[in-house]
Every structure is written in C-alpha cells, then in structure tokens.
Amino acid sequence: MFSKLKKITFAYEAEFLAFMLSLFSLMNLAIYFQIQSTLFLILGSLLTVILAYGIIKFRNLKKIVQVDKLLQRSYRKADIMEYLTSLDEFKSALISINEPIAVCQKITSYIKQSLNSEEAIVYLWEESSGAFHPKPLPKNDSNHFFFYVYDPFVLWLSDNPRLVIPSDLEMVLSHLPLTLNKGKEFFEKTNAHIIVPLVLNSGLLGILTISRKNSEDGIYTLDDIERLSEIVEVSTLSLSNASFYNQLITMTETLEAKVKERTRELEETQSQLVMSEKMASLGVMVAGIAHEINTPAGVINAASDNLEGNMLYTYLHVNDLQPYLNNIVVRRSFRKLLVKLLRDTQRTRIDPSQKFKLKREIKENLLKLGVSDSDANDGSQFIVDNNILDLMEDVAVLYKNKAHTVMEILKNGVGAARNIKNIKYSIQNVVRIVKALKYYSHLDQSSYGEADITEGIENTLIILHNQIKQGIDIQREYNPIPKVYCNIDELNQVWTNLVNNAIHALKNAKSPRITISTSTKELAGNPYVLITFSDNGTGITKEIKDRIWDPFFTTKDQGEGSGLGLGIVKGIIEKHKGTIKVDSEPGKTEFKVYLPIAKPNNDLIP
C-alpha cells in the first residue's frame, strides 16, 4: 500500500512541476521580450527553478503527512485483525481443554501474550481445602499464596464481579475498612496491578491477577482493558465447563468404583460361603494352614496395637506442634526429618558392633552443638536407630529449641511407619496362602474347563507348605505345557495325595527331596501332558506294588492313613481318560500321570 501511495504522489508532483515550470517560463519569456535584458532572463529562470523546488518540497511534506496517517490507520486495522484472529484461536483452544488447570495455563499464557503482561495467575477454587490456589504455580515458591473463601476481600469480589485496580480500593471500599485492608494485602501478596473475579451464575470460580505491563510506564491502555474484558468473558465460561466436566468425571469414576467394590464384596462373600463348605474336606491340611496364617496374624495384631499407640500420641499432641512450627528453623528441620524418616526407601543397617562407638561420637557432636547431656543421649540413640547421621544438626536444632514434643511425634511417626510395613508384609503372606487356598478349592471356576496344571501344583504346594518345610527340598523341573481340559478340583486332590505320600515316604531319608516335572508326550499318536512326582524315600517293594491302588490298602501307621488316597487318585485320572503309572526301587519312587490335552469324548465330562 505504501509503494502505491508513493507512485501516486510522484506522478502528481511531476505533472505539477511541469505545469509550474511551463507557466513561469512563459512569464519570464514575455518579460524578456518586453525588456530585452539577458540578465533579467537568467535571474527569472533561476527564480523559476527555486520557486518550483519550494513548491515540490511543500507538496511532498504534505503528502508524507497524509501517507503517515494512512499507514497508522492501516497498522491499527492490522493489529485489530491480528488480535481478533488470536482471540478466535484462543476460544477454539479452550473448547478442546477439559482440565481446569490446563484451562488456567492457557488463559494466563494468552493474557501475557495479548496484553504484554509480565505475569498472570489464576487463583482456582479447590473444594477440598476451601481456598483459592494459584494455577499455574508461580515460578517463585515464596509467592505461593492461597486465599480462603471466607476472606473479606474474596467475599467482596464474589459479590462485585468487576475489574479492580489498586487505585479503586480507597474509593469503593472506604466504608469497609477490614475489606479494604485485606484488598491491599491481596494486591501486595500477588504483586497484581489488575484483579478480575471469574464469576458465573453468582459463583466465584477463580480470581485472575495480572501484574504490570511490559512497557516503560507499565500502565494498561483502554484498548487493553477492553480486550481483557473479552478474554475474561470467554475464560470464565471455559473454566466453568472444565470444572463441571472434571466433577462429572470424578463422580462417574467414584460411582464405577463403588459398583465394582460392591460387586467384589458380593463375590468375596459368595466365595467365603462356598469355601466354608469345602474346607471341611481339607482334613489334615487345616492345622498346617492355621499355623501358616497364625504367624502373620500375630505380627499384624502386635503391630496394630503399637500403631494404635503411635496414632493416639500423635492425635493428642498434634496441636502442641503449632508453637514450635512457628519457628522457621524448627519447622525446616522438622520437615527434613519427617520426609527422610517416612520416605519408603531402604536405608543401610548399621553394624551392631559399631553402634556403641557411633552413638558416643554422635553424642559428643550433639554436645558441641549445644544440646544438653540428657537430650544428647536421647538424640544419639534416635539417630543411630534410624540411621540418619546426615540429619544430626537438624536433631540438634529441635533439642536446642526445647521441641521435645516434636521429637516424640517424630518417634511415633517412625514407629507407625514401621508397624504399617510389618502389617503390609504379613498381609501379603496371608494373601498368598488364601489365594492358593482359593485356587485349590476352585471357588471361581466351573467344574470343567481349561486349566493351568503347573499353577495348580504350585498352589497345592503352598497349601501343604507347613508339612513340606520340615527339611524337604522341592525341585521343580517345569517345561512349557498347554492348558488341559479338566476338573481342577479333582486334579488338586490328585496332587495333594501324591505329595502327601511322598512326604510320608521321606520320614527317614537323610536328604529328603521331592522332584516335580512337567512335559508333553505322545501315547498311541495322541498328545498328552506328563506330570511326574518322584522322591528319594524308602520306595515300594515289588510284593505290594500292584496292591497300592486297592481301596483301604496302606503301609502307613495306624491313624495316619485310610488307604483310600491312591485309589481315589487312580479313579480321578481314569475319569479324565488319563493314565497313572508307578516305578519304584529302594531310594526312589516315581509316579507318572498322563492327561490328554484334547477334550476327551466322554459322556461324563461336560
């Protein structure tokens, strides 16, 4: 546009100059013919050139002023178009954002870009704390202020949704001195030059604070204020939508979690009822299972009693912390100790033989730091017990400030964390046993279906752990095998009987060992899974080898067996269209179980 104006201006001046030169030249010639003076002709020509040059300069200056005005109007229009385009992009971006914090980040970023502000922060309402917190967080943590909803100035902003600048406070809040003071404090803490409440339907969603403008005077123009009003209108609606969407998602997730929890509770209740019926058939395993569960249960009971004491002390003395924590030095040391002690990380143990020497050295250092003798004794013991040698100075700070209550709360906090870990570990052991028992009793599966044989054997070993752990070495030689269509309840009974027989045969063995292996094998051209149980016990003599499958035949002492075990095992295997074989010699017995991989054609198997 500028080049076009120049061309138009140049063309006009050329025509004007030609006209003026022609006019003055004619006048000069007319006078010359009248006077017949060469000197006058020269002077007249020179005067004509000077006059033409002055006219051209004047006309050019006038045109330059006009061009500048046109350019200013053009730049103004371009700036408005650029702003409107960016505003449309801003609106589109907000529509695609559903997280309130992300909306706040977008708002503050756009305001800093559009208004050339040094900083912009949205103090967003958080229902959990009942306060407005900065989003995004300020770069300087020392400026991380938040404002409660009952703050007088916040309440006033909620009732008066308008743009506020510092100079407005005296005029609009002169009749409310408390609110006026809180308003001044708000501006001072947030370093704001403009405050805008984000209100929708009489609800205060957040508070927008904007610092000074990046300019020499740092003052916002009327155009800036108009733009800010448009931005605030769009931002408030988007922030409201994001907050509502977030609440809706939270409510949906909570509802789904409750439904899942109720469903899980019903399933567990049903499983417990079924298990109570099936546990009656476990017989001898009950005592072993009870023993396995009793140990972690005892740990949980003791830890829960200790935890109760820790929590009770902390609850009764938590209010006593306030006077000490008002001291910034005490507060900083307390925070460092609390984070280090409660952080779930493995700390190396101190060699017990070095504890006494180390405790004495720490006590001497504490005494040098100004801690009393009795406190130094207590502090050195605390440091050594928890292996926090690097925080010795922080412990000294607490003792020097007579913060004994703080130290006791720290000790109880450490005790609570330790007891929780013990409870967690014990519960994991109980869960492991219960999970195996649940699988063993086949609570959550149909009678027949595809099952993992290896998993069934492993869970049976867990159930029998109390009997196996008496010096018996279990060797596992598992090879990958496919799942087998079977009744896992019945097969678990097979594994139980075979392992129990092996345990009985190993009573007098010097290095008792049970080896369990799995593999695949073909019999008569059909694929089978082969499960082998072998032991290095007394073995089975040839005289009784063929009789072990007979009902009521047993080699165990009176009261130890009924003689039904292997008969039941053979019946179950044959029902599954499988085969069981035994090879035995003194010092080694091996039972081989063959199960078809494909579903057998048997009317008895669904």
pLDDT tens digits for range 374-406: 777 777 777 777 777 777 787 777 777 777 777
Strand arrangement of the beta sheet that strand 526-535 belongs to: 473-478, 513-523, 526-535, 588-596, 579-585
What's the distance, CA 447 to chain centroid? Answer: 41
Q: Is the pLDDT of residue 604 over 50?
A: no
- Residue 97 belongs to what H/E stretch? none
Report the pLDDT value the prediction gives residue 316, as an integer from 0 to 100. Answer: 78
What is the C-alpha separation between 566 and 328, in angstroms, rounded?
76
pLDDT tens digits for range 159-213: 888 888 888 888 888 888 898 898 889 888 888 889 989 888 888 888 888 888 8
pLDDT tens digits for range 43-78: 666 666 666 666 666 666 666 666 566 656 655 566
Q: Is 36 left (phi over 0), alpha (psi -120 to 50) or beta?
A: left
Which range scores top for mean pLDDT: 172-186, 231-245, 250-264, 295-309? 172-186
Of 247-256, 331-340, 572-581, 594-603, the poorest mean pLDDT is in: 594-603
- For 300-323, b/e burial (b = at least 16 CB within 10 A) is beebeebbeebeebbeeeeeebee
In this structure, CATH architecture of domain 448-596: 2-Layer Sandwich (3.30)
Do 99-247 and 448-596 show the same overall fold?
no
Q: Which residues touch 424 (CB under 8 Å, ≥6 apart)?
A: none
Report the pLDDT value the prediction gives residue 348, as an integer from 0 to 100. Answer: 64
Q: Is the pTM of this model over 0.75?
A: no
- Mean pLDDT for 220-246 is 83
Of 3-7, 153-157, 305-309, 574-578, the poorest mean pLDDT is in: 3-7
- Mean pLDDT for 416-437 is 75
* H helical segments located in 328-388: 328-342, 352-368, 373-386
- Mean pLDDT for 245-271 is 76
Residue 391 tokens read as 């925080």
Locate the domains of the chain by residue range. Answer: 2-90, 99-247, 292-427, 448-596
Of 605, 572, 289, 269, the C-alpha closest to 443 is: 269
Q: Is the pLDDT of residue 415 over 50?
A: yes
Contact 224, 115 (CB under 8 A): yes
Identify whether 480 is preceded by a cis peptide bond (ω within 30 of 0).
no
Four-CA torsion 340, 341, 347, 352, nearest 10 degrees: 130
Tell me the pairing of strands 203-210 and 120-126: antiparallel
Question: Environment class of residue 81 by beta-carbon count within 10 Å: exposed (0-12), middle (13-18) or buried (19+)?
Answer: exposed
Work out the pLDDT band at 477, boundaries 50, 70, 90. Answer: very high
Tell me the pairing of strands 484-486 and 473-478: unpaired
**Bridge partner residues of 532 (DSSP):** 517, 592
Q: Looking up tokens 């075979």, which residue turns up?
A: 498
pLDDT tens digits for range 115-170: 888 888 888 888 888 888 888 776 665 556 788 888 898 888 888 888 888 888 88
State which fold the 99-247 domain adopts: Beta-Lactamase (3.30.450)
